[in-house]
Amino acid sequence: MTFYYEGQPVEAYEGESVAVALYAAGFDSLSWSSSLVRPRGLFCMIGKCSSCFMIVDGVPNTKTCREPVREGMRVERQRGWASPVASESVELSELPEVRIDTDVLIVGGGPAGLSAALTLAEFGLDVVLVDEHFKLGGQLLKQTHKFFGSVDLFGGMRGFQIAEDYVKRISSNPRIKVLLESVAYGAFRGGIVGVASKEAHYFVKPKALLASTGAQERYLDFVNNDLPGVIGAGGAQTVMNEYGVKPGERALVVGSGNVGLIVSYQLLQAGVKVEAVVEVLPEIGGWFVHAAKIRRYGIPILLRHTVKEVSGNGRVEKAVVVEVDEKFNPVPGTEKEFDVDLVLLAVGLEPDTRFAMQCGAVARWSPELGGLVPLRTLDLETSVPNLYIAGDSAGIEEATTAIIEGKIAALSIATKLVESSKASKAREEMDKLIRFLWDVYRASPLLARARKGKESVTVSREEMDKLRVEFPPPISFG
């Protein structure tokens, strides 16, 4: 199909996002920063940053990474804050207001939300599952590597295959209503959640709510870190693995955690030359086996190194890497230059807790989990009654633990909403899963850091009751 970028026709494939179609067509800059008028390129590609905001058919601030291409659509760059929409230039349609009463509202259709939705439906509960993207699956969609685990935890399957399996089962389940391209923008008094979608403005009144809202990628400070071509590692995965677009020719990857190692391997598969992976710590961050996978194809991992600056005319052309000392200060004279057109940041994730925070959940800072996260009981209920959290939004871990946490939260909700014989079955299953997660899965010494983080934000039922007295929740669900 064809759409128009500032008047020029652009060829695109159906099912592509506007941002990806533009990138594939060679347009590196999608917007201009407001005060310094610097070009902005892709960054997160999952609707969390604001790098790809554009004017689409007259509507400013459209997240083009989440906007599917349509025949004849008009796309323009915007400079910083957009002017208000002029009513004569845009056709505004009245959306119907629709009230939905349901058992459970799930915000976020990634691994945690998907596993929760199916578990709840199996217990005969009605579910509304909301996601911002135009497809379900969250970050599973771009995971082309095989997952660790056991067979019953999808071990050996590739991430996108796990998403396909869930989506198949969910779309054929009459108890689960899926709202795509929809944003749960806020909770209101009375436990009603506003959901803005393209066909209606929904007011959802659930008996319980699961916020499985995922995470966003971190930035890193260095000179010209906003130059197009500096992309989040996950953003690059979206471009190449979800849409099949080669993100560049030569890459430097910053960070050797699992994301950095896996993205390096995937770049190699896509035919991109990976010049190096740099890691500021004196040790590789991710699993050894992921590191070995890229080392045997000759990709160097430079420990105690960081990126100092990038440069280029409208797009990254060069990156300068420097060694750091014990205090992480750059060591002068150790600079190395790489001719690269891609610098991928894999320097960690930050939980997206905006929904739970807006509901007034009591939170605590956990460096191990990537930031501020809601306190929760073992069965993942927050201080806001019947508001549950699971997955990366509950503290950065991984897709498999997100699947397990989603199931635990769903089972806990089921114990409250189903009749007693089924409730005791749910409780039994939940207790078993909690024991597995804490005593088996997280018992690996290499997961000690995440485990410590999760311990620091998990409280007993009694402590939670006290917290609710001390910090009365502004709203509750149910």
Partner 1 sequence: MAAVQGFRKTGVVGLEDLSALGLLPPEWRLRKGPVVVLECPEMIPCNICVPYCPTKAITMERLIDLPKVNWDKCTGCGVCVAVCPGLAAFVVDLSKEDADYVTVPHEFLPAPKVGEEVVLLNKHGERVGKGVVTRVWERNKTYVVTVKTPKGLGMEVRAIWVER
Residues 6+ apart with CB under 8 A from 19: 30, 42, 45, 52, 64, 65, 67
Residue 92 or residue 151: which is nearer to partner 1 going by CB? 151
Q: Is 63 in the site for partner 1 (CB under 8 A)?
A: no
The DSSP output letter for 140 is G
Per-residue contact string for residues 115-154; x = within reach of partner 1 by CB under 8 A: ------------------------------xxxxxxx---
Q: Is 252 in the site for partner 1 (CB under 8 A)?
A: no
Pairing mode, if any, of strands 201-211 and 97-107? parallel
Q: Is 185 in the site for partner 1 (CB under 8 A)?
A: no
User: Using CB under 8 A, which of the segments 183-191, 408-416, 418-426, 444-452 binds partner 1?
Assistant: 444-452
User: Using CB under 8 A, which of the segments 7-15, 23-31, 294-302, 332-340 binds partner 1?
Assistant: 294-302
Q: Is 33 in the site for partner 1 (CB under 8 A)?
A: no
Exposure letters 312-326 (e unless 16+ CB within 10 A, then b): beebbebbbbbbbee
Q: Is 250 in the site for partner 1 (CB under 8 A)?
A: no
Rama region for 472: left / alpha / beta (φ>0; ψ in -120 to 50; rest): beta
- Which tokens sit at 356? 């739970």
The DSSP output letter for 394 is G
Q: Is 284 in the site for partner 1 (CB under 8 A)?
A: yes
> Least distance in Å: CB of 250 to partner 1?
16
Q: In what order do the strands lie in the sheet with 273-279?
A: 230-232, 342-345, 250-254, 273-279, 301-303
Q: Is 425 in the site for partner 1 (CB under 8 A)?
A: no
Q: Is 59 in the site for partner 1 (CB under 8 A)?
A: no
Per-residue three-class SS string for 204-234:
EEEEEEEECCCEEECCCCCECCCCCCEEEHH
User: Using CB under 8 A, which of the segments 104-112, 155-163, 319-327, 364-372 binds partner 1?
Assistant: 155-163
Q: Given candidates 290, 308, 407, 454, which one binds partner 1 under the rule CB under 8 A?
A: 290
Q: Is 287 in the site for partner 1 (CB under 8 A)?
A: yes
Q: Is 326 in the site for partner 1 (CB under 8 A)?
A: no
Residues 6+ apart with CB under 8 A from 431: none
- Which tokens sit at 367? 């460096």
Q: Given candidates 104, 245, 294, 347, which one binds partner 1 under the rule CB under 8 A?
A: 294
Residues 6+ apart with CB under 8 A from 394: 112, 351, 369, 373, 374, 376, 380, 405
User: Using CB under 8 A, which of the segments 96-104, 162-170, 206-214, 277-285 binds partner 1?
Assistant: 277-285
What is the C-alpha to C-alpha distance for residues 188 and 205, in angstroms, rounded to an integer?
A: 10
Q: Is 90 in the site for partner 1 (CB under 8 A)?
A: no
Residue 120 or residue 434: which is nearer to partner 1 going by CB? 434
The DSSP output letter for 49 is S
Q: Is 297 in the site for partner 1 (CB under 8 A)?
A: yes
Q: Is 302 in the site for partner 1 (CB under 8 A)?
A: no
Q: Is 295 in the site for partner 1 (CB under 8 A)?
A: yes
> Least distance in Å: CB of 151 to partner 1?
6
Q: Given candidates 77, 158, 273, 452, which one binds partner 1 under the rule CB under 8 A?
A: 158
Q: Given candidates 14, 94, 221, 283, which one binds partner 1 under the rule CB under 8 A?
A: 283
User: Using CB under 8 A, which of the segments 122-130, 164-172, 224-232, 442-450 binds partner 1?
Assistant: 442-450
Pairing mode, if any, of strands 74-76 and 127-130? unpaired
The DSSP output letter for 242 is I
Count of residues interacting with partner 1 (CB under 8 A): 40
The DSSP output letter for 285 is -
The DSSP output letter for 447 is G
What is the C-alpha to C-alpha distance for residues 124 and 409, in angstroms, rounded to an integer?
A: 16
Residue 230 or residue 261: which is nearer to partner 1 going by CB? 261
- Of 11, 94, 15, 93, the closest CA to residue 57 belongs to 93
Residues 6+ apart with CB under 8 A from 89: 58
What is the C-alpha to C-alpha distance for residues 79 and 64, in angstroms, rounded to an integer?
A: 15
Q: Is 332 in the site for partner 1 (CB under 8 A)?
A: no
User: Using CB under 8 A, which of the segments 231-239, 363-371, 375-383, 437-445 binds partner 1?
Assistant: 437-445
Q: Is 273 in the site for partner 1 (CB under 8 A)?
A: no
Contact positions with partner 1 (CB under 8 A) in 159-178: 161
Per-residue contact string for residues 349-388; x = within reach of partner 1 by CB under 8 A: ----------------------------------------
Position of tokens 């946490």?
Answer: 405
What is the C-alpha to C-alpha distance for residues 93 and 9, in angstroms, rounded to an integer?
A: 27
Q: Is 445 in the site for partner 1 (CB under 8 A)?
A: yes
> Least distance in Å: CB of 32 to partner 1?
39
Q: Given candidates 188, 288, 328, 365, which one binds partner 1 under the rule CB under 8 A?
A: 288
Residue 27 or residue 147: which is nearer to partner 1 going by CB? 147
What are the residues binding partner 1 (CB under 8 A)? 145-151, 155-158, 161, 268-269, 282-284, 287-299, 301, 303, 400, 440-441, 443-447
